[in-house]
Amino acid sequence: TMNVAMAFAFLSSLYGDFMKAVGASISIFNLMDRVPEVTNEGGEKIQPFPCQVDFKNVSFTYPSRPDTKVLKDITFSMKPGSVVALVGPSGGGKSTIVNLIERFYVPDTGNIMLGGVNMAGLDPQWFRKNISMVSQEPVLFACSIKDNITYGTDATDEEIEDAARQSNAHEFITTFEEGYDTLVGERGVRLSGGQKQRVAIARALIMNPSILLLDEATSALDAESEHLVKEAIDRAMEGRTVLVIAHRLSTVRNASEVIVINKGEVAERGTHEELINKGGVYKKLVLRQLSAGTLTTKADININAADD
């Protein structure tokens, strides 16, 4: 029989998987437009959709871990049309910030404002129609590529193709005999990581979102795929307000503002240049990533390069 210590060891061995499962279920909730916590349907709608987001002294604790404050007094702004990059060590709270913008959870204290209005009073469904998230490991459903791009919206074939072209997906999709009707997943074709990401970008674009949330992939894609994904992402970012969890120097270099999140707090903020010149935690982080080899592209290696 299992004694207490064994049970504990067993449970903690499951904990990692459990956390992964929690992560996965969040993505699926996202895809299915469901809301674990925020359910106040029918709140206010602002026309036209404002693209300014302000975090004001936001603190947050996950309901499942009441003893750990994950975000502490976070304040920052996303100005319309700007790109804000979140960087920082693993577990610092970057994804949690994104989760809060998506309104999977509500802050314990402080406010998140959209166009100067507290998000708590806004209609979550209306809000979600205007934002898209491209995650690091996009979840594709076991259905056609077309359905994976539209997922529930009534986009026309023309709109679907347009989104796929913009995200560099049209070309590989049309190499399949059944084109957009090709099944993906267990019973269908297996897509590469880069192809999955491009389908996910097409899915994000079909919504024509005002705000784009991105979690840049850390896993290295092959050079060709990497280039196609990067190009698709750059195109998707154009004219939108973007919050990106950044892993590439080329992204942070172009960001309007870089915010370093460490242990749930804003450790530093500024442009890439400013933060490198400052020689603080950001610079250390960049140097550490360089020596750990987690910066992948050629441009990443030369931190002083003026461009890509």
Q: Which residues bind ligand ATP (CB under 6 A)?
A: 22, 62, 64-65, 70, 88, 90-96
Contact 228, 280 (CB under 8 A): no
Q: How far is the CB of 70 from ligand ATP (least distance, A)?
A: 4
Q: How far is the CB of 211 from ligand ATP (least distance, A)?
A: 18
Return the amino acid letter for 169.
Answer: A
Q: How far is the CB of 108 from ligand ATP (least distance, A)?
A: 13
- Residue 308 CA to residue 302 CA, distance in Å, equals 9
Structure tokens, 258: 């870089």
Structure tokens, 79: 């100005």
- Residue 133 CA to residue 126 CA, distance in Å, equals 15
Question: In terms of CB distance, is 91 or 239 closer to ligand ATP?
Answer: 91
- Residue 112 CA to residue 128 CA, distance in Å, equals 15
Q: How far is the CB of 106 from ligand ATP (least distance, A)?
A: 14
Question: In terms of CB distance, is 29 or 126 closer to ligand ATP?
Answer: 29
Question: In terms of CB distance, is 64 or 156 closer to ligand ATP?
Answer: 64
- Residue 296 CA to residue 227 CA, distance in Å, equals 12
Question: In terms of CB distance, is 169 or 249 closer to ligand ATP?
Answer: 249
Return the amino acid letter for 210.
Answer: S
60-64: long-range contacts (C-beta < 8 A, 24 or more apart)? 60/96, 60/100, 60/105, 60/107, 60/108, 61/108, 62/96, 62/105, 63/37, 63/105, 64/22
Contact 81, 240 (CB under 8 A): yes
- Residue 62 CA to residue 216 CA, distance in Å, equals 23
Question: In terms of CB distance, is 94 or 230 closer to ligand ATP?
Answer: 94
Question: In terms of CB distance, is 19 or 142 closer to ligand ATP?
Answer: 19
Q: How far is the CB of 171 from ligand ATP (least distance, A)?
A: 31
Q: How far is the CB of 201 from ligand ATP (least distance, A)?
A: 20
